[in-house]
Amino acid sequence: MTAPNLFEQQASNRRRSFWLVAGFIIFFAWVGFGGDAGLYLETRDAPAGSYHHFIPFIGIVVTLIAGGVCWYSWKNGANRVLWATGAWEVIEPADDDQRRLVNVVEEMAIAAGLPKPRVWVVPDSDPNAFATGIDPRRASIAVTEGLLRTLNREELQGVVAHEMSHVRNFDTRLMTLLAGMVGAIALMSDGLGRMLRGGVRIGAGRGGGGGGGKSGKDSSPVGLIILVIWALTLIIAPVISRLLQVAVSRKREYLADATAAQLTRNPGALAAALEKLAAASEPTRSITNGAAHLCIVDPTSNRFSEREGVLGDILASHPPIAQRVIRLKGMAYQQAKRESPPAAAAS
């Protein structure tokens, strides 16, 4: 990967982060003010004494919440991801595995030309790793205890280099913001969904009927349409956010693998590490679905994670490990060909 391509990737991820935040706030504003508009149209002709929705307090509150979520994800998203996994920071290595991990992180930071990230260990027996942070100066790399026990030094270098490439490309900023925002969308959808299922009476008169004005049954068609679209938005929002999360992750894993091969000059080591991670039979229970896209391999027991084609592209957070291994072994083969001595000239 050439330097201009690296800078283009970083600039692209900065733009994507900006548009992700903007789109998130716009989406919440639509949910809030769209609900206000629907309620206004539904209640404007209600009988005297009934509820009339004039002040768009839903839109104001929800938009402010969206801005707060973006600010919180920016400032504290990385720490919340680490907290959710139960990770603890390696300040002073306590054993040989931790010393090897810290040394490898230092080596790969030098190779990538980045400040040394903070190093964390996740108390989970399944081998996995992830990186998080808004920028390289505030980045963290976390590995599970199972990964430290499973991989040798060269394989660990490949995994750490993979995560370091996410840091260098600013993938971690985009994916950390996604982790916070996807969770917020799911919570909002669940909360408002419960409100709708509980039933909200709009425009019903307080008296027995026959009074002046229009009946509460004469609903505005435009108001009903807006409310239907609003309700559908709440239903499909978690699905769309999940698809966005998957798309962002899958496109970046191949690039991170290639960058790791460049940093270590040893693509075969990362291929061997991925094969060991694929052989693990248990999911990484310490890492939730909301942060799955941050990991080097899918931490869930998703049966679609190794499928190619449309189903895998839509339902899995990572490309198939088998395909990643094939690409890395192809790089190793090409590297071996370049480094092998030329055949002796025929006499």
- What SS3 state is found at 142? strand
3-state secondary structure 279-294: HCCCCCCCCCHHHHHH
Q: Which two tokens stand for residue 216?
A: 């509460």
Alpha helix (H) residue ranges in 44-144: 57-85, 96-112
Burial 278-313 (b: 16+ CB within 10 A, else e): bebeebbebbebbbbbbbbbbbbebebbbeeeeebe
Residues 6 or more apart from 212 whose CB is under 8 A from it?
Answer: 47, 48
Enumerate the β-bridge partners of residue 89: 120
Q: Which of 325, 209, 201 is nearest to 273 (CA)?
A: 325
- What SS3 state is found at 215? coil
Angle formed by the axes of helices 153-168 and 267-279, nearest 10°: 100
Spatial separation of the C-alpha atoms in residues 297 and 284, rounded to whole Å: 10
Spatial separation of the C-alpha atoms in residues 2 and 140, rounded to whole Å: 25
Residues 6 or more apart from 257 whose CB is under 8 A from it?
Answer: 162, 267, 270, 324, 327, 328
- Contact at 8 Å (CB) between 162 and 258? no
Looking at 163, 282, 308, 339, which residue is catalytic?
Answer: 163
- 306 assigned to active site: no
The pairing of strands 88-89 and 140-144 is unpaired
Q: Active-site residues: which are they?
A: 163
